Structure 1
Amino acid sequence: METWIWILIVVLALIAGVALGFFIARKYMMTYLKKNPPINEQMLRVMMMQMGMKPSQKKINQMMSAMNKQMK
């Protein structure tokens, strides 16, 4: 075979590998986040109580909105 055909095969295999790796990693992360969700209100309430704070709903809502802003 000629050299340009081998180069083409290598480039196509590389592109296919990158695309396949992306979709596998995306699927893995979606499954991981479904099993281990990020922090929610209940977790925040427990953490605040462990730190000796008495959490009010207003304070929890403020902290949740601040964390959601940071995530975006």
Structure 2
Amino acid sequence: MSTTIWIFIVVLAAVVGAVAGFFIARRSMETYIKNNPPISEEMMKSMMTSMGQKPSQKRLNQMMAQMKSQAQTSSKKK
């Protein structure tokens, strides 16, 4: 085989690997963020306390449910 065919095969393999790696990494990050949300209930509680609000459990549950539904609607749009 000539050298140009080998170069073409190497370049093609690199491009295919890069594209496949991008989509695999994207999917794994989406599932990680879905399973481990960036803001937890404790973080939200401390944030509300620092803003001078007394966080009730009911309000925290409402805010967490709202964030979860917002995340689900944004993932369905894609």
The interval holding the TM-score normalised by the smaller chain is: 0.5 to 0.7
Length-normalised TM-score, structure 2: 0.59
What's the C-alpha RMSD, in Å, of the aligned pairs?
A: 3.2
Gaps of at least 5 residues in structure 2 are 73-78
Gaps of at least 5 residues in structure 1 are none
Structure 1 residue identity aligned to 2:53: M
Structure 1 residue identity aligned to 2:50: Q
Moved more, 38-47 or 13-22: 13-22
Which residue pairs with 2:19 in the alignment?
18
Structure 2 residue identity aligned to 1:42: E
Q: What is the CA–CA distance in structure 1 between the aligned matches of 2:50 and 2:3, rounded to whole Å?
A: 69
Q: Runs (4+) of structure 1 moved beyond 4 Å?
A: none
Structure 2 residue identity aligned to 1:66: Q
Percentage of identical aligned residues: 53
